[in-house]
Amino acid sequence: MARNTTKLVGAAVLAPLSVLLQGLPPMFLTPWFMRIDFAAVPWVVCWIVFGWRSALLCLLISAPLVGFLGPFAGGIVGAVMKSVASVWMFIVPALFADKLRGFQNLFRRRVWLLVACASAIMARVLCTLFFNLYFALPVFFKMDYATIIAFFSNPLFQSFVSINLGMVGLERIEKSPISSSST
């Protein structure tokens, strides 16, 4: 019973930390104005320390507030998308840990840890792609599916993304210690 109380308290303590991290000013913005934040880090930490059920509880406690507080929060769409994107980062490794009979076994076997992480990222990419196309874009921007498909197949949009990714890469190369020491 004490162990369950510890897990419950752990989830309750880490949930406000997630909300606090969401409320911070944007630390990293992509050229297409997507915010990269650390609001999901407490959920993953909760999984590592207390298990996947506690991490899921932590997510459910903090997701509504994460969606409405802070810059670029996004309201109900932000709350749903943050949850949908982040849940895979602890559920998939938890499934691998269960198959390997424990969390410690997963972390001892580096190959399985890499497979679990790659699977989590793949699940995240596929799920967020689906949710972006069929939930976030239609609800947040009030776009129909034909408009969404036409927007992403537009060569101007693809050029914008390509140019900005190239500029970010060029900036990183110019700021790297390797390029500054060779000149």
Co-location of 91 and 43 in the same domain: yes
Q: What is the pLDDT of residues 67-83, one digit of tens each?
A: 887 666 778 888 898 89
Query: Which residue type does 141 have?
Result: F
Tell me: do 42 and 120 sit in the same domain: yes
What percentage of the chain exceeds 70 in pLDDT?
83
pLDDT band at 61 (very low <50, low <70, confident <90, very high): very high
Phi, psi of 101 (to 5 degrees): 60, 50
Residue scoring higher pLDDT (130 or 32):
130
Output 167 or 141, whichever has higher pLDDT.
Answer: 141
CATH code for the domain of 25: 1.10.1760.20
47 and 112, same structural domain? yes
pLDDT at 141: 83
DSSP state of 90: H
The whole-number pLDDT of residue 23 equals: 81
Number of domains in the chain: 2
pLDDT the model gives residue 148: 80
Distance, CA of 37 to CA of 160 (rounded, Å): 23
pLDDT in tens, 12-39: 999 999 989 888 877 777 766 667 778 8
Domain coverage including residue 167: 153-183
137 and 168 belong to one structural domain: no
- Asked if residue 164 and residue 110 are part of one domain, the reply reads no
